[in-house]
Amino acid sequence: MKVRSYGVVMALIAIAAALAAPLVADPFWMTLITQIYIYGLLALSVDLLLGHAGLYSLCQASFFAVAAYTTAILQVRYGYPTIVAAPAGLIAGTLLAVLYGSAVRTRGVYFILITIALGYIIWGAVYRWASFTGGDNGITNVPPPSVAGFSIASQTAYYYFVLTVVILCAFGYRILIRSPFGLSLRGIKGSESRMQSLGYRTTMHLYAAFVISGLIASLAGVLYVYYNRFINPVAASFQISVEVSLMAIVGGSGTIVGPFIGAGVFLGLRNWVSSFFELHTAVMGAVFIATVLWAPSGIVGLVERWRPGIGKPKDQP
Amino acid sequence: MHSGILQAINGVSFAALLFLLASGFTLSFGLMRVVNMAHGAYYLFGGYIGLSITRYTGSFALGVLGGGLAVIPLGYLIDRFLIRRTGENHLAQVLLTVGIAFVLGDVALKIWGGDSLKVPTPIELRGAIELPGGIIYPAYRFVLIVFSVFVGLSLWLLYRKTQIGAVVRAGVDDREIVSAIGINIDRLFVLVSALASFLAGMAGVVGGAFLTLYPGAEWEILVYALVVVIFGGLGSLEGAMIGALIVGLLDAYGRWLLPEFSYFVLFGPMAVLLLFRPRGIFGREG
Amino acid sequence: MTAAVAIDSLAKVFGGLRAVDRVSLEVALGERRALIGPNGAGKTTLFHCITGRMQPSSGSVKLFGDDITYLPEHQRTKLGMGRTFQITNVFTDLSLAENLALAIVGTDRRKWVWNRPLSAFPAVREQALAGLEAVGLKDRADDPVKLLSYGERRQLELALALNTHPKVLFLDEPCAGLSPSERQRIFKMIRALPREITLVMIEHDMDVALGLADRVTVMNRGRVMAEGTPDEVQSNPEVRDVYFGHV
């Protein structure tokens, strides 16, 4: 019980702080924090596979970008309202996940390489299919989202909108990972052979997880395009896919807050370093290296060591 | 008709370059089970260093050699002190080596700047060759094909016909066996890793002479190399040869016939192949 | 009467090596069969081929008369086949109760429930606790498996297989690596299993094998070299030479 109430208290504090943020933060910070929520959500989609199912997908940017591009193109080029464009984006991104899900037939390093290559298909498509996607320039002038005459135009309004979506997602995600299905994913991560002998068609479970992950990534993509008001091929790039998996790990894989903490640390650090140091990409590269070598269980993992109520695992035989 | 043949030569010469890069990648995976995403950065670094050497000495051959050699210590240090520590965790390897590639890329940007740079080729290679049928094609690309065939043949002989190649092949199949028969597997790792670095660095110089070198080139070429090894099967030298040809030709014809969808032309068949043979054409089960 | 398990000239070839060489055997309903033989006799490979972990090179496997040779593993489990692994194969990152819950919902539709937490299924929890009690681990239900000793993990290994409610249970060296007192404990647990469960077990420990089994099959170099009651097998001179001579 003690452990559980600790988590609830922390979550309430975090939500209260998030709700109060617009009262104290200036536009720069508001932009950054909104960005952290959106990337955190994308990192969460990575972590459903990474932290729970044990699959390392490196094509999450594809679902993110396809959702964002679909919404942007429908809204800007064809003039559809948000109520059509946003769900269409979600559906398009998720359908891509339904298609790409066949990658779960493979495991380990093959899965990693295949998802990298699949990710490049979308990047290549949005980059080269310029007549439809705008090529390098992308799609600009995406209007703010508006539903039934209400436009979520102001930065603060959109902040609260994103926050609401993220909290709802986190809540739903929590139910998902605590469900028998969620447990089955952790079972597969632990031992796929045993899961099969217990009666699970593991590939189908992984496939379902892959599609759900694609749905979450697509949601992040739709939120992103309305936040950014434009979209270009960078959103579909391999770099984004790697960065968000790093966020999930930096924060703490297998947790809900971890990916958001990771997004905060990563984006905050990049913003800060790039303000005074020319080689900021190199610094981010160093963060990758340092995380892998010294903090593979992430910030949440580091905190857990000192957290009350949870002992260190005893020595193994 | 002429353009069709031209594209074939384009494809084969690009394949020649891809083979240089992918052969090292696939061998180091086969033996050490390491996915090194910094391979593209080795290519870029080798290319830039070769460029500087060529400019300074005026010798393209020295540039190619120097670009390859310069990457060996870099690759060794990265292998020994960083990659080795990830064990067999492929995700950690990918993230780590991506991080390394970011660092190397940024350092290269700082040293050589952000413009596209072309490695100067010797005058003898600058002309064009006229083929029967009136097709005129840059001589350099033909030399590249010949060079790559030479490298491929040497690698193949080394791999298939020598004692050390036999040990490497045994190691690809089963590493414990190699350790068990008393071969110093660490020394073998260093050797293969040095070879892979050398090939990547050298590829950077010869590639930089017609594709030019610029920030981001390391990722573009790496993806092609990945597709080559996915087609051919990770760890297979013959697979890298066939894979390079497939990718080179698909890319050339894709760009020519369907410029907006050239990535589909390249990745579509790959995705289909993977559905039926997840380990590529020459990949082994297990 | 149909046999619980019927294997007809099953073979498994690796490269040039015949790990299992045209093995045929039948296990009757409710029978307890021990599979013994020196290391490398092909026992575990045969097990893998029967349970679906590996695909046999030739031959067939029947479960209650149905041909299951090419059925995927998870479907065999649904038909009532359960197994344990020689190398302990449990979920070390989960709690004991969660381990059992995976086994319990694995054979029904509840494994697909995604919109309700596991805690909303009190029946699963109850079954899990009962399953743990059966192997003497009830008071550790909420500990992570990481904290278990090796012997306790072997007990959990057995509990996992039992909670898929198998009609035929395959045990791959259930006592592997255990101390004599731990062996005794597992031995008693297996002995206490309801007789309706058909048992096929690989066992190195002669006392365990002969104390539990109705019939014994002896394998050597991929083939069946003898089969019979424990007494018959023990008195078979050929078996004594190949097997008991090695001990």
Torsional sign, CA A289, A292, A298, A304:
negative
Question: For chain B, which chains pass the contact test of at least 3 CB pairs under 8 Å?
Answer: A
Do residues C3 and C167 lie in contact, with contact meaning Cβ atoms separated by under 8 Å?
no
A200, part of any domain: yes
Residue B215: which CATH number?
1.10.3470
Q: Tell me the average pLDDT across C38-58.
A: 89
Domain range for residue B122? Answer: 2-276
Q: Does residue B219 fall inside a structural domain?
A: yes
Lowest-confidence pick of A275-279, C67-71, C137-141: A275-279
pLDDT attached to residue A117? 86
DSSP 3-state assignment of C15?
coil
A232-250 pLDDT tens trace: 999 999 999 999 999 999 8
**Cβ separation A121–B94 shorter than 8 A:** no
Q: What is the CATH number of domain C1-80+167-247?
A: 3.40.50.300
Q: Answer yes or no: is A83 within a domain.
A: yes
Q: How many domains is chain A partitioned into structurally?
A: 1
Domain boundaries, chain C: 1-80+167-247, 89-165
Model pLDDT for residues B115-167, shown as the tens digit of each residue: 999 999 888 888 888 877 777 888 888 889 999 999 999 999 988 888 888 88
Distance CA(A121)–CA(A118), nearest Å, equals 5
Chain A residue with CA closest to C124: the answer is: A180
Q: Judge: C116–A175 Cβ closer than 8 Å, yes or no.
A: yes
Best mean pLDDT range from A194-198, B81-85, C220-224: A194-198
A109 confidence band (pLDDT: 50, 70, 90)? confident
Q: Which of B46-60, B247-261, C225-239 has the highest mean pLDDT?
A: B46-60
Chain C residues within an 8 Å CB radius of A191: 89-91
Residue C64 carries which side chain, given as an amino acid letter? F
Mean pLDDT of B15-32: 89
Could you report the per-residue pLDDT of B192-239, keeping only the tens digit for each?
899 999 999 999 999 999 899 999 899 989 989 988 988 888 888 888
Looking at the predicted structure, is the pLDDT value of residue B262 above 90?
no
Residue C74: band (very low, low, confident or very high) from pLDDT cuts 50, 70, 90: very high
Identify the band that residue A312 occupies on the pLDDT scale cut at 50, 70 and 90.
very low
Average pLDDT over residues C192-208: 87
**pLDDT grade, residue A1 (50/70/90)?**
very low
Question: What does the pLDDT read at residue C28?
Answer: 93
Taking contacts as CB-CB distances below 8 angstroms, the residues of chain C near A316 are 146
Q: What is the pLDDT of residue C220?
A: 87
The pLDDT of A284-296, averaged and rounded, is: 87
Distance between CA atoms of B161 and B150, rounded to whole angstroms? 16
Chain segment B61-111, per-residue pLDDT in tens = 999 999 999 999 999 999 988 988 888 788 889 999 999 999 999 999 999
The reported pLDDT for the residue numbered A148 is: 76
Q: Which residue has the higher pLDDT, B285 or B219?
A: B219
User: Which residues span the domain enclosing A139?
Assistant: 28-237
Does residue B268 have a pLDDT over 90? no
Percentage of chain A exceeding pLDDT 90: 58
Contact of A277 with chain B, judged by CB distance below 8 Å, is answered with no
- What percent of chain C clears pLDDT 90, i.e. is strictly above it? 62
Instruction: Flag whether residue A245 sits within 8 Å of chain B, measured between CB atoms.
Output: yes
CB contact under 8 A, B261 and A128: yes
Query: Cα separation of A69 and A64, whole Å?
Result: 9
**pLDDT tens column, C151-187:** 999 999 999 999 999 999 999 998 888 888 888 888 8
The answer to whether residue A282 is domain-embedded is: no
Give residue C245's pLDDT: 57
Please report whether residue B285 resides in a domain. Answer: no
* Cα-based torsion angle of the residue sequence A201, A206, A208, A210 in order, rounded to the nearest 10 degrees: -160
Q: Min CA distance, B197 vs chain A (Å)?
A: 20
Q: Which residues of A218-229 are buried (b: 16+ CB within 10 A; e: fewer)?
A: bbbbbbbbbbbe
Rounded distance between C-alpha atoms, residue C69 and residue B3, angstroms: 54
Most confidently predicted of A136-140, A307-311, B278-282, C232-236: A136-140
Is the per-residue pLDDT at A308 higher than 60? no
Q: Assess contact for C7 and C61: CB atoms under 8 A.
A: yes
Kindly report the nearest CA distance between residue B258 and chain A, in angstroms: 10
Average pLDDT, chain C: 89
Among C203, C183, C201, which Cα is nearest to C243's? C203
Please state the rounded mean pLDDT for residues A22-30: 86
Do the strands C17-27 and C5-14 form a parallel or antiparallel pair, or are they unpaired?
antiparallel
Strand duo C5-14 + C58-63: pairing: antiparallel
* ipTM of the shown complex: 0.91
Q: What are all long-range contacts of A307-311, with beta carbons under 8 Å and residues at least 24 apart?
A: A307/A6, A308/A2, A308/A6, A309/A2, A309/A3, A309/A6, A310/A3
pLDDT tier at A313 (50, 70, 90 boundaries)? Answer: very low
At residue B65, the pLDDT reads 95
pLDDT band at A315 (very low <50, low <70, confident <90, very high): very low
The CA–CA distances, whole Å, from C233 to B227, C198, C223, C229 equal 58, 20, 15, 6
Per-residue pLDDT for B183 more than 80?
Answer: no
Q: Which of C84, C91, C98, C172 to mutate to test the interface with A (most CBs of A within 10 A)?
A: C91
* Domains identified in chain B, total number: 1
Contacts of A125 in chain B (CB under 8 A): 261, 263-264
